[in-house]
């Protein structure tokens, strides 16, 4: 059986491109989207390119949808080889200054952490039994250099002026999950890494970003065959946590 990958938030942007590039490598890709119409449309596009992709519905904050998806993957494939935790949000208003650490509202923090952190931890934990059935599994947590505390505390870094607190803190927490989970799984078949895609033109990255989505997806795709664990990586280079 070919490798099975699950990509969350795969209907557009980096998730869509990551699904395409994994499928081009011969992987069967389950493209998760919370919206049926957008998800099936995205899958249709890649199927027309001759790629082996399937639509699965997943609003990452809904535990019942996670549970149904685990059952579906178990009964259809019996394993999962690659989990790309890609779905993410940056709250509207960020990064223009309304959500700085001084003034960010609790509901913005909660909503951001729900999608970018809590749901991701829950989904990953629930997929672990299926990942353990793979000969060699990879978890890719799509993070951001903005979540690096080393970078954020370095005033000479150009990234340190970009301080949307809810988003950045949610990615720092995600990085912590990568470090802790990689350590917990170090004697298993599962490797866990964080990816920084670069600054990429998507609905989240905005029009001024220098990279296109196919370039941005490369880091996640390369981590699907990484021979290391517990690292934070962009384009093959390690980033400080």
Ligand X SMILES: NC(=O)c1ccc[n+]([C@@H]2O[C@H](COP(=O)([O-])OP(=O)(O)OC[C@H]3O[C@@H](n4cnc5c(N)ncnc54)[C@H](OP(=O)(O)O)[C@@H]3O)[C@@H](O)[C@H]2O)c1
| Residues contributing to the site for ligand X (CB under 6 A) | 8-9, 11-15, 34-35, 38, 58-61, 86-89, 115, 142, 144, 196-197, 199-200, 202-205, 209
Residue 74 and residue 50: Cα distance in Å, rounded? 25
Distance CA 101, CA 99 (A): 7
Min separation Cβ 235 and ligand X, Å:
13
Q: Which is nearer to ligand X, 209 or 226 (CB)?
A: 209
CB nearer ligand X, residue 14 or residue 169: 14
Q: Among residues 73 and 134, whose Cβ is nearest to ligand X?
A: 73
For residue 70, the minimal CB distance to ligand X (Å) is: 16
Measured from the CB atom, the residue of 47 and 201 that comes closer to ligand X is 201
Closest separation in Å from C-beta 109 to ligand X: 15
User: DSSP per residue over 73-121, as a string?
Assistant: HHHHTS--SEEEE------TTTTTTTT-TTT--HHHHHHHHIIIIIHHH
Residue 228 CB, nearest approach to ligand X (Å)? 20
Which long-range contacts does 119-125 make (Cβ < 8 Å, 24+ apart)?
119/60, 119/61, 119/66, 119/87, 120/60, 120/85, 120/87, 120/174, 120/177, 121/177, 122/63, 122/66, 123/8, 123/58, 123/60, 123/66, 123/83, 123/85, 124/83, 124/85, 124/177, 124/181
Distance from C-alpha of 51 to C-alpha of 130, rounded to nearest angstrom = 23
- 200 forms beta bridges with 211
Q: How far is the CB of 183 from ligand X (least distance, A)?
A: 23
For ligand X, give the closer residue by CB, 95 or 197: 197
8 vs 152 by CB, closer to ligand X: 8
Q: How far is the CB of 39 from ligand X (least distance, A)?
A: 8
């Amino acid at each position: 059986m070919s490798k099975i990958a699950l990509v969350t938030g795969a209907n557009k942007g980096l998730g869509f491109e990551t699904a395409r590039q994994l499928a081009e490598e011969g992987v069967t890709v389950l493209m998760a989207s919370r919206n049926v119409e957008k998800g099936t449309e995205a899958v249709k596009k890649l199927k027309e390119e001759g790629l082996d992709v399937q639509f699965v519905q997943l609003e990452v904050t809904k535990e019942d949808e996670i549970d149904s998806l685990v059952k579906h993957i178990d009964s259809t494939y019996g394993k999962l080889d690659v989990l790309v935790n890609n779905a993410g949000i940056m709250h509207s208003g960020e990064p223009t200054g309304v959500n700085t650490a001084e003034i960010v509202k609790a509901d913005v923090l909660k909503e951001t952490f729900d999608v970018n952190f809590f749901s991701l931890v829950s989904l990953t934990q629930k997929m672990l039994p299926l990942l353990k059935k793979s000969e060699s599994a990879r978890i890719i947590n799509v993070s951001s250099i903005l979540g690096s505390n080393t970078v954020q505390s370095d005033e000479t870094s150009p990234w340190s002026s970009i301080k949307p607190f809810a988003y950045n803190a949610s990615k720092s927490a995600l990085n912590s999950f990568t470090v802790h989970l990689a350590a917990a799984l170090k004697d298993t078949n599962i490797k866990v890494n964080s990816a920084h895609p670069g600054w990429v033109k998507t609905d989240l990255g905005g029009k001024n970003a220098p990279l296109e989505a196919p370039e941005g997806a490369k880091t996640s795709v390369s981590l699907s065959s990484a021979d290391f664990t517990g690292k934070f990586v962009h384009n093959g280079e390690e980033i400080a946590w």
